[in-house]
Homo-oligomer: A and B are copies of this chain.
Amino acid sequence: MTQKIKVGILGASGYTGAEAMRLLLRHPHVEITLLTADRKAGQSVEEVYPHLGGYGLPDMVSVDDADWSSVDVVFCGLPHGTTQEIIATLPEDVKVVDMSADFRLRDPETYAEWYGHTHQALELQKSAVYGLTELYRDDVKSARLVACPGCYPTATLIALLPLVRAGLVDPLDLIIDAKSGITGAGRGLKQNTLFSEAGEGMGPYSVSKHRHAPEIEQEVAAFAGLEASNVRVNFIPHLVPMSRGELVTCHLKLTEGKTAADIRTEFEATFKDEPFVRVLSEGQVPQTQMVRGSNNCVVNVFEDRIPGRVIVIAAIDNLVKGSSGQAIQNMNLMFGFDETEGLEQVALFP
């Protein structure tokens, strides 16, 4: 076989890091040579993630002790805000697949407004490609730094951008009611993600002020040919008692004269050759159970009872297509591998 590329995972003790390990362990052209995790530095993978024990992975090291000469590409699963400083120090020839939010927003002012501080690597930001693979594939191929979308924007934009681009729906009347499994809140210790608090119940959070709203607005505006500051979406996420899975229910207003059938036609045309997006049969509802553990996205459209409106629904696994899986999909493009390498896992059900 060809030589394997060497991969580092920064922030390997978080869920996106663990998921990257799980998937990359099966990738035929990859060797994991570096794992950083500041608070777990010195620990073995088995200690941090028992399910990943026995695979010969390297021990965790502090990011300060990382040997960058040992890697061709890094996946960044670091907390938002810390990524930009670290990436700025990396050797030029190390490619970067960023799973944090640091390089998603193109406008520095919007970034500062939503993340509470000035961006620390504006030059890098300019060169970053937004890694929503299905819609930015060519840009990703030649990028050094790919900013993978947030989990909610991934599911939302796969469904909405083709419709906005084709002028089928009103980009100024987008209502996105989103639901996520608890891993979306990360591995950090929080009272509201304890089993006994998050289980057997549900509710919304960050109503009207979730950081994924401006990210969605940025892309909708770009595909609609509008100023981002003119696009405002209703985006409300809910936390649902399941570990993985994300479902977005989009309540949309059709452009005058357009129908649900037009949307179905557009979906089928857009996604017919996509390996990871499946338009479901008419009437079949997307469920997160269809995609758990896989890089797949399922999508469908339904007529609303209110004339002139439709409901578009998409489901993904937030840790795979919504994070580490899409990151690997991007890495495959950046290194000229088959886009599906390491990602052919079938969904786990039941």
Among A26, A249, A294, A309, chain B packs the most CB atoms within 10 A around the CB of: A249
Copies of this chain, tallied across the complex: 4
A288 and B202 within 8 A (CB)? yes
From B195, B208, B289, B309, give the contact of A195 (CB < 8 A).
Answer: B195
**Chain B residue contacts of A1, Cβ below 8 A:** none
Shortest Cβ gap from A91 to chain B (Å): 30
B242 and A200 within 8 A (CB)? yes
Please, what's the 1-or-0 string for A63-82, where 1 marks a CB less than 8 Å from any CB in chain B? 00000000000000000000
Q: A201-B288, A202-B247 are in contact. Are A187 and B179 (CB under 8 A)?
A: no
**Chain B residue contacts of A54, Cβ below 8 A:** 278
The answer to whether A114 has its CB under 8 Å from any CB of chain B is no
Among A173, A191, A202, A307, chain B packs the most CB atoms within 10 A around the CB of: A202
**Chain B residue contacts of A302, Cβ below 8 A:** 207-208
The answer to whether A147 has its CB under 8 Å from any CB of chain B is no
**Chain B residue contacts of A15, Cβ below 8 A:** 196, 350
Please, what's the 1-or-0 string for A220-234, where 1 marks a CB less than 8 Å from any CB in chain B? 000000000000111
From B202, B233, B285, B291, give the contact of A179 (CB < 8 A).
Answer: B202
Q: A191-B187, A287-B203, A313-B204 are in contact. Are A196 and B243 (CB under 8 A)?
A: yes
A345 and B345 within 8 A (CB)? yes
A204 and B285 within 8 A (CB)? yes
B287 and A50 within 8 A (CB)? yes
From B49, B234, B287, give the contact of A304 (CB < 8 A).
Answer: B234
Shortest Cβ gap from A266 to chain B (Å): 19
State in angstroms the CA–CA spacing of A307 and B230 once bound together: 11
The answer to whether A5 has its CB under 8 Å from any CB of chain B is no
Q: A175-B251, A284-B50, A290-B50 are in contact. Are A196 and B350 (CB under 8 A)?
A: yes
Interface residues of A in 321-347 (CB under 8 A from B): 344-347
State in angstroms the CA–CA spacing of A251 and B234 once bound together: 9
**Chain B residue contacts of A306, Cβ below 8 A:** 173, 175, 232-234
B234 and A199 within 8 A (CB)? no
Shortest Cβ gap from A244 to chain B (Å): 7
Shortest Cβ gap from A174 to chain B (Å): 8
A245 and B195 within 8 A (CB)? no
Interface residues of A in 155-205 (CB under 8 A from B): 173, 175, 177, 179, 181-183, 187, 189-191, 193-205
The answer to whether A128 has its CB under 8 Å from any CB of chain B is no
A243 and B350 within 8 A (CB)? yes
The answer to whether A292 has its CB under 8 Å from any CB of chain B is yes
State in angstroms the CA–CA spacing of A187 and B191 once bound together: 8
A245 and B201 within 8 A (CB)? yes
Q: Which 3 A-B pairs have the closest CB atoms?
A: A203-B287, A201-B289, A196-B350
